[in-house]
Chain A
């Protein structure tokens, strides 16, 4: 997939992932990677950004004698997902337009 498109989608994918339930770094990488190949280094700044925008919060939980950082979606994040879904009609219209340009040839 086009990297620009991927960049735009990853954020919503992560938010959706967290909407299914709280998760931690490694699990998020694994889940996201099943559709959009992503590395740990790409994920980190996105999570940081989501956190600073108030779309997710973090908390630590003990796991096997160490602390694991969990990410939890916030109302602001849900709003962001809703906004993405609402803009889908527009995306579809653009998709149609692009598709027609190829078919007409």
Chain B
């Protein structure tokens, strides 16, 4: 790997986990190292191979806490506070509407697994009851009891099948929900989401 490749790999990966100034500082540091090693008589390749690989560097960086100095104004001016209070009927209701909108999205998303879950429960419970109680129906005649046993078993089987379907789609819906949550989190807080390299 040559110097440019090294720097490119490092900075492109780091841009996910650090702020731009931090990336620039770190890349400058390693660039200086490479140039100093080359001044000692190493070739570019040798100098780069002397250092940790970009992957190792990224790993070590991820372990150290980043320093945050976000520009947060220490005090709210009384004027701003008053404006916030007076404006509450406006921004409060808008905010609430937003929250409810998000909430309704989750309700809609989870409608489907809840429905299949209900079907599964009905199938399993009804099937079991019908199967277990079918001997009682024998009293009304063999053909009635036998039919009930058959229907019970069928219901039970269908219930089990739908349970499996519910489990598999629930997993998918959990993923969807997490994705949606992350999306809103990023939108609202402008935060770096959990990005794995």
Residue-wise interface mask of B (45-62) relative to A, using a CB-CB cutoff of 8 A (1 in contact, 0 not): 000000110001100110
Do the beta carbons of B32 and A25 come within 8 Å of each other? yes
Q: Counting CB contacts under 8 A, is B30 at the interface? A: yes
CB distance A40 to B51 under 8 Å? yes
- For A66, the chain B residues whose CB sits under 8 A away are 32, 35
Cβ-based interface call for A8 (8 A)? no
Q: Is the CB of A26 within 8 A of B37?
A: yes
Q: Are B36 and A26 in contact (CB under 8 A)?
A: yes
Q: How far is the CA of A50 from the CA of B37 in the complex (A)?
A: 24
What's the nearest-Cβ distance from chain B to residue A49, in Å?
Answer: 8
Task: Give the interface size class of chain B.
Answer: 10 to 19
Q: Is B5 an interface residue (CB 8 A)?
A: no
Residue B23 lies at the interface, judged by CB distance under 8 Å to chain A? no
Q: Is the Cβ of A26 less than 8 Å from the Cβ of B52?
A: no
Residues of A within 8 A of B29 (CB): 25, 40, 44, 69
CB within 8 Å of B: which A6-31 residues: 24-27, 29
Alpha-carbon distance between A24 and B39 when the two chains are bound, in angstroms: 14
Decide: B52 and A39 in contact? CB cutoff 8 A: yes
Cβ-defined contact, B28 with A69, below 8 A: yes
Contacts A64-B39, A66-B35, A68-B32 given; indicate if A41 touches B67 (C-beta within 8 A).
no
Cβ of A26 and Cβ of B32 under 8 Å apart?
Answer: yes
Residues of B within 8 A of A39 (CB): 51-52
Q: A52 interface residue, CB < 8 Å from B?
A: yes
Q: Which residues of A contact B51 (CB under 8 A)?
A: 39-41
Does chain B have a CB within 8 A of A75? no
Which chain B positions have C-beta within 8 A of A44?
26, 29
Q: Which residue of A lies closest to B57 (CB)?
A: A41
Give bound CA distance, A42 to B57, whole Å: 9
In the complex, chain A residues whose CB is within 8 Å of the CB of B67: 48, 52
List residues of chain A with CB under 8 Å of any chain B CB: 24-27, 29, 39-42, 44-45, 48, 52, 64, 66, 68-69
Shortest Cβ-Cβ A-B pairs, 7 listed: A26-B36, A45-B64, A41-B52, A41-B60, A40-B33, A41-B57, A26-B33
